[in-house]
Chain A
Amino acid sequence: MSDSPDLDRYPELADRWNRRNFIKSAVAGTALLGFGGALMRLAADDLTRAARAESRVDGRPRLPPGQRVLEFLRPMGGDEGDGKTETFRLKVHGACKKPFEVDYANLLKLPQVEKMADVHCVTGWSMIGGMWKGVQLKKLAELAEMTDEARFVILEAAHGFTANIPMKEAMADNALVTYRINGKPFSIDHGAPVRGLVPDLYFWKSSKWITGVKFVKNDAPGFWETRGYNNHADPWKEERYG
C-alpha cells in the first residue's frame, strides 16, 4: 500500500505533498553530491599528504597551510594578452638608470636560468616541483641599473593589470620572467608568451601576460591587492585577504 495520501480524494493536499517530495529529493541529491565530492577529494589527496611531510631548507613546510597539491597548473581566468611572441615587449623601467625594452627573441638571448619552484594559488591549490625557465628579475634589475631607492617591483601585465612585489621576494633566485614550464611553452590561459614567477608569494603575484617590470620607491597595491586581497600574500602566513 502506498504511503502517499489519496490526492484525488483530498486535492487540497496536492501542493503540500508535491512540495514535500521536492524538498526531500533536493536534500537527498545535495547530500549525495556532497558525499561524492568529499570522497573524490580524499581519494586524490596522496600528493598533498606527501608534500605536507616535507620541509624546505628554511624549516617551513613545503606545502603552506590550507593548500592541496595538483599535478598541473589550473587555469584561473583573467584578462588575457594576445599571447603572441611577435608583439611581445617587456618594458623594464622605473627607479633605474638604464630603462629598456626587450622583445621576445632578445629576452631569450639574455642569461637564462631554469629553476624548480612550487607555486601556491590563493584559492587553495599548489603545484609543486615545476621546472621554470626564464630570466631572473634580479638580472633585469642589474641590466637596468636599478637604483638604491627602489623598494618594490611592480609586475605589469595586459589590460593594466599590476601586482606589487616587495624587493626581498622579487630579487630571490627563483623570481623570474618565465616563458616555459617543464620544457613546454605556456598556453594562453597560463600567461603566454611570458609571465612572471614569484613563487614565495601567492600565485596571483606572478602576473600572467606580463608587459613590464617597474622598480618603485613607494608601494603601489595592484589589481587584486586593491580588491580585498592581501598586500604581501605570504602563503605560509596564509595572507590571503587584506
Chain B
Amino acid sequence: MVDVKKRWRAWLRAIHRDFGYLAVGFTLIYAVSGIAQNHIEDWGDVSFKATERTLALPAIPDTTPEIVAVKSIADAVGMGAPTTHSRAGDEIRLEYANGSKATAIVGAKDTTVTVQARSRRAFIGLANWLHTARHKNAWKYIADSYAVLLLYLALSGIFMIKGKLGLKWRGTILISTGILVPVMYVGLAGGPNEQKDAIAGTEIGLKSVPVGLGPPRTAPTPQSPTPTPDPEVKGPGSAVLTPLPPDDDQ
C-alpha cells in the first residue's frame, strides 16, 4: 500500500512541474505584455508600428472631377490604386487594401497629403491583445484557468520542499519578502487615499511656481477658459442632418 503521507509531496512536485510547463507560454504572453502595460505612459501602445509621411501637391480646384483628383493623388502617393475613395469638405481620402490611408487636404494654394500606415508587431501586438479578456469569449475562461494554474504554482511551491530550503528557513524568508514588498509599499506610499491627499498638496505647491522659469515655447499662448469669438469656418453648403426618433429613455 502506498504511504500517502510520504507520497503527497512527490505528487505536489509532479503536478507543479507539469503545470509549470503548461504555464510557460501564458507567462511569456502575460509577463511581456504586463511590462508593456506598466510602461504605457513611457512607451505608449507598442502593439503597432505606425508610419506617417506628408507630401505637398499643387492645389486641386473644386471643379476637378473626383476621379481625376484621386488619380493625381494616388500617382503622387505611389501605392497603386486605392480600394475606396471619398470626398468630404476640403478632404479627399484614399484607402488601400493593406489598411493604409492617404488624406489630401485641399487648400487654396496647395494640397497636403498625409499618408498613414501601420502594422501590428508580431509578438507584443498579439500579447497585448490577449492580455485583456474584454470582448473575448473563450479567452476569458482560458485566462481564468491560467490564473488558477498560477495560484496552484504559488501555493504548491510553499510545500514542495521540506527542511532548511523549505518553510523552515529559506522558504519562510522569501515568502515573507514577497508579501512584505507590497505591504511596505502600501504602508510607505499610504495607499490610494493618502495618495489623493498628497496630490492635493502638490497642486497647491505648483500654483506658486514663479512665471519666467525656463525659455518660452515657440507657441506659448495659453488657451483661454473664457469665451472668445469663434473663428467659424462655414462648410461648403448646408449639412444634411438625418432626424432620429427620441430615445426610449427620454
Cβ contact within 8 Å between B217 and A50: yes
Q: A residues within 8 Å of B by Cβ?
A: 46-47, 49-58, 60-62, 65-66, 74-77, 79, 83-86, 91, 93-95, 98-102, 104-118, 121, 123-125, 128-129, 136, 143, 159, 172-174, 180, 183-185, 187-189, 192, 199-200, 214, 236-238, 240-241
Q: Closest residue of chain A to B105, judged by CB?
A: A183
Give the distance to chain B from A134, nearest Cβ to Cβ, in Å: 11
Cβ contact within 8 Å between A76 and B199: no
Among B215, B237, B238, B246, the one with the most A-chain Cβ atoms within 10 Å of its Cβ is: B246
Give the distance to chain A from B180, nearest Cβ to Cβ, in Å: 18
Instruction: Kindly identify, within residues 13 to 69 of chain B, every residue whose CB is under 8 Å from any CB belonging to chain A.
Output: 40-41, 44-45, 47-48, 50, 52, 54
Contact of B48 among A51, A101, A189 (CB under 8 A): A189
Instruction: Kindly identify, within residues 197 to 250 of chain B, every residue whose CB is under 8 Å from any CB belonging to chain A.
Output: 199-200, 202-203, 205-207, 209-217, 219-228, 230-247, 250
Q: B residues within 8 Å of A by Cβ?
A: 40-41, 44-45, 47-48, 50, 52, 54, 84, 86-91, 93, 95, 101, 103, 105, 112, 114, 116, 118, 128, 134-135, 192, 195-196, 199-200, 202-203, 205-207, 209-217, 219-228, 230-247, 250
Contact of A136 among B203, B212, B225, B230 (CB under 8 A): B230
Cβ contact within 8 Å between A101 and B242: yes
B interface, over-half SS: loop
Given contacts A56-B225, A76-B44, contact A108 B206 (CB under 8 A): no
Chain A residues, Cβ within 8 Å of B192: 241
Cβ contact within 8 Å between A85 and B235: no
A45 and B13 alpha carbons, distance in the complex (Å): 51
Q: A77-B40, A108-B90 are in contact. List 6 more A-B contacts (CB 8 A).
A: A79-B134, A100-B244, A105-B89, A108-B89, A185-B116, A189-B45
Q: Closest residue of chain B to A106, judged by CB?
A: B239
A52 and B130 alpha carbons, distance in the complex (Å): 39
Cβ contact within 8 Å between A57 and B216: no
Cβ contact within 8 Å between B213 and A53: yes
A218 and B8 alpha carbons, distance in the complex (Å): 59
Cβ contact within 8 Å between B41 and A47: no
A138 and B217 alpha carbons, distance in the complex (Å): 31
Contact of B226 among A57, A101, A106, A108 (CB under 8 A): A57
Q: Closest residue of chain B to A72, judged by CB?
A: B44
Contact of A86 among B86, B195, B202, B246 (CB under 8 A): B86
Cβ contact within 8 Å between B213 and A75: no
Cβ contact within 8 Å between A199 and B235: no
Pairs A–B under 8 Å by Cβ, sample size 23: A49-B214, A54-B222, A55-B211, A74-B41, A75-B45, A75-B50, A76-B40, A77-B45, A99-B245, A99-B247, A100-B243, A102-B239, A102-B240, A108-B91, A109-B236, A112-B89, A113-B232, A116-B221, A159-B135, A187-B118, A237-B200, A238-B196, A238-B199
Cβ contact within 8 Å between A46 and B214: yes
Which are the 4 A-B pairs with shortest beta-carbon distances? A108-B89, A109-B235, A123-B41, A109-B239
Cβ contact within 8 Å between A143 and B241: yes
Q: Closest residue of chain A to B47, judged by CB?
A: A77
A136 and B238 alpha carbons, distance in the complex (Å): 16
Give the distance to chain B from A60, nearest Cβ to Cβ, in Å: 7
A241 and B236 alpha carbons, distance in the complex (Å): 43
Contact of B86 among A75, A77, A85 (CB under 8 A): A85
Chain A residues, Cβ within 8 Å of B247: 93-94, 99, 214
Cβ contact within 8 Å between A109 and B237: yes
Among B41, B192, B223, the one with the most A-chain Cβ atoms within 10 Å of its Cβ is: B223
Q: Closest residue of chain A to B228, judged by CB?
A: A173
Cβ contact within 8 Å between B222 and A55: yes
Chain A residues, Cβ within 8 Å of B135: 79, 159
Cβ contact within 8 Å between B233 and A112: yes
Give the distance to chain A from B33, nearest Cβ to Cβ, in Å: 11
A75 and B46 alpha carbons, distance in the complex (Å): 8
Q: Closest residue of chain A to B203, judged by CB?
A: A65
Cβ contact within 8 Å between B244 and A187: no
